[in-house]
Structure 1
Amino acid sequence: MKDKPEILVVGSFVKDLTVSTNRFPEVGETVLGCGFQTASGGKGANQAIQAARLGAHVTMVGKVGDDIYGKEMIDSCAECGIDCSRVMINKNAPSAIGNVQLQIDKDGKTQNRIIVVPGANMTITIEELSFLEKEIKNYDMVLLQFEIPMEVNEFVIECAYRNGVPVMLNPAPSAPLSDSIMPKLTYISPNEHEAADLTGVTIRHDGAHVNSDDVKAAINVLLDRGVKNVLITLGTAGAAFGNENEFFICPSLQNIVAVDPTGAGDSFVGAFSTLVSMGVDHEKSVRIANYVGALTVSKMGAQPSLPWLE
């Protein structure tokens, strides 16, 4: 067991601007909102903060604009003890913005719709990350997502693979993934929609009840493409895990009041990655990550809601 694993996150910073409303507007319609909040986010930064709050030593690599949002997002990570010395500042591109629409219906149930303007995230270059060719061997796990250029992700995956460092890829937002990269992934963690895009398998479920045959079929497609371990998040139905020796579905916590689902998937990925890097077995890691994700949805804002170990 490793008490404080070294985790490298190469990914995005996004400032979330969240408007709450009782219903989403139709096309061409204006509706009144019932709340507004700003919070630091971005899949990369969210996963980094969740890992740090659960005890990992985390290094964050990414890029922000030379603006107030960029400073706030770096500060948010640094306050959690994350090493931000490799975070870059682009003086010619703004920090990324996430427009989050949060619908809160009369029963208190929430849904969100998010549009991200990637800004400085998409200006990261392979040349700027050349230091990883020597330094990546110092880490126990590398976390990646799709809010930075694909060629950067592929470069980091290649570096990690050559040095025997496990990689967790969260393929969000959904995008095609090269067959040459798949066998170099230790873990891939799509949600059910991203899994369908990657595999062509639609996972049917009704609330907390999921079609396990669909889940197994989707996992098998990804295993056949070379990924070592597949973790699919299933919303209210929990999460599924599979590799050549294991398959299980871990149900989600029930009776959780979802205040804001933003960041829940990032929380899950950050928690799972930290736990397996500590030496915790897969099933226990998924179960605890489910708890952590459930705590996340019970509060407003992505990073403000990410749970601490205490």
Structure 2
Amino acid sequence: MSRKPKILVVGSFVMDLIVKTGQFPNAGETVLGLDYQTAPGGKGANQAVQAALLGAQVTMAGRVGDDDFGRRLIASCREAGVNTEFVSVDGTTYSAIGNVQLEVRNGTTRNRIIVVSGANMAIRPEDVAFLKDSVAEYDMVMLQLEIPMQINELVAAYAYEKNVPVMLNSAPSAPLSDELLSHLTYISPNEHEAADLTGIPIRKDGKRVNMDDVHKAADILLAKGVKNVVITLGNAGAAVANREEFLYEPCIDVVEVKDPTAAGDSFVGAFTASVCAGLSHKDALHFANYTATLTVSRMGAQPSLPKLPEVVALLQRENDLTFRLSALDGLK
């Protein structure tokens, strides 16, 4: 049996407070909601949980508050098999929360999210200093932008010095230094974040995408030293670009969309785990699209993330296995 890939995630924990409504309120307006629930989330924790549920050996580093949300957030990661020994508890602030609004209307679901960062922004350089030496133990480092930029830059530099690949999910949108970009093996923005980073709006008409725009945006990021650019395009699919290849796959439209909240995190976690397991970019793109498709068919962030057998079962149900199942042995 192949060795399980070892992935380090340095990132955020967020307790999502989810409200479903038939119509988003306008400014100054009150509307009645249809449903309410809480669910563990945060881009870092979501991606860690997704990679772990798919079979990777995942370690998470981050910070929560000394409160009930913090305890629930850590417990959710542990239940998925994530090693949380490097998650610290901060008694001086609160765990982050995400105000998630879902509008269910005319058969479609849209979301709006406000994150209050709390303990995520209290991570200090000394909290990740141990990685300067130990980062070499991992096959990939995953980062996002819900923690201080200084921490992302430090961790990326540590990994780069040890020749460990780095995946940055550049969300939520923020300016990135040329130095950070030069340390990245993968960057994964969505179409809006890609436009913010490059100045190239990616034009879409429904599920049709202007591929010239995608090429141009990817080329700008590649020119800054990123080795691979993975752009997610919402209901239009996703693309992967580097100096040798350009791959595009449309969205897998085989489920009813109930909650798109964690779709991007599911995709990034699945893409990273499958690449670390040895899949080609083409196959990893296909696998990640199917993983994210299952995610949007369920409510909540982490509660919606699928396990490996569920993704394989959907691929088989749709008769859409483009690679041998043995390629996933590293995740079993």
Q: Report the TM-score, using the length of structure 2 for normalisation.
A: 0.92
Equivalent position of 1:161 in the other structure: 160
Contact 1:171–1:190 (CA under 8 A) maintained in structure 2: yes
The AA in structure 1 aligned to 2:307 is W
Aligned equivalents of 2:228, 2:36: Cα separation in 1: 39
Q: How big is each residue's C-alpha offset from its partner over 1:148-196, in whole Å with a ceiling of 9 and x where there is no partner? A: 0000000000000000000000010000000112111000000000000
Deviation at 1:255, TM superposition (A): 4.3
Equivalent position of 2:146 in the other structure: 147
1:167-182 counterparts in 2 under 5 A?
Answer: 167-182=166-181
Q: Report the TM-score, using the length of structure 1 for normalisation.
A: 0.98
Equivalent position of 1:7 in the other structure: 7
Which stretch has the larger CA shift, 2-11 or 22-31?
2-11
Q: How big is each residue's C-alpha offset from its partner over 1:49-94, in whole Å with a ceiling of 9 and x where there is no partner? A: 0000111000000000000000000000000111111100000100
Deviation at 1:108, TM superposition (A): 2.3
Deviation at 1:256, TM superposition (A): 2.9
Equivalent position of 2:20 in the other structure: 20
Equivalent position of 1:32 in the other structure: 32
Q: How big is each residue's C-alpha offset from its partner over 1:218-258, in whole Å with a ceiling of 9 and x where there is no partner? A: 11111111100000000011001100000021111124321
Q: Does 1:127 align with 2:121?
A: no
Deviation at 1:128, TM superposition (A): 1.2
Aligned equivalents of 1:121, 1:248: Cα separation in 2: 34
Equivalent position of 1:188 in the other structure: 187
Aligned equivalents of 2:80, 2:140: Cα separation in 1: 19
Deviation at 1:2, TM superposition (A): 4.6
Aligned equivalents of 1:166, 1:130: Cα separation in 2: 18
1:10-159 counterparts in 2 under 5 A?
Answer: 10-105=10-105, 107-159=106-158
Aligned equivalents of 2:255, 2:127: Cα separation in 1: 43
SS in 2 for 1:85: strand
Contact 1:54–1:274 (CA under 8 A) maintained in structure 2: yes
Aligned equivalents of 1:70, 1:86: Cα separation in 2: 14
CA RMSD of aligned residues (A): 0.9
Aligned equivalents of 1:76, 1:147: Cα separation in 2: 19
Unaligned runs of 5+ in 2: 310-332
Deviation at 1:41, TM superposition (A): 0.1
SS in 2 for 1:84: strand
Contact 1:3–1:55 (CA under 8 A) maintained in structure 2: no
Aligned equivalents of 1:10, 1:216: Cα separation in 2: 29
Aligned equivalents of 1:294, 1:174: Cα separation in 2: 23
The AA in structure 1 aligned to 2:63 is K
Q: Percent identity?
A: 60
Aligned equivalents of 1:293, 1:207: Cα separation in 2: 19
Aligned equivalents of 1:165, 1:145: Cα separation in 2: 17
Unaligned runs of 5+ in 1: none
Contact 1:276–1:285 (CA under 8 A) maintained in structure 2: yes
SS in 1 for 2:308: coil
The AA in structure 2 aligned to 1:253 is I
Deviation at 1:136, TM superposition (A): 0.3
Contact 1:54–1:271 (CA under 8 A) maintained in structure 2: yes
The AA in structure 2 aligned to 1:152 is I
Aligned equivalents of 1:302, 1:221: Cα separation in 2: 32
Aligned equivalents of 1:129, 1:32: Cα separation in 2: 44
Equivalent position of 2:315 in the other structure: none
SS in 1 for 2:55: coil
Contact 2:98–2:113 (CA under 8 A) maintained in structure 1: yes
Aligned equivalents of 2:148, 2:297: Cα separation in 1: 32
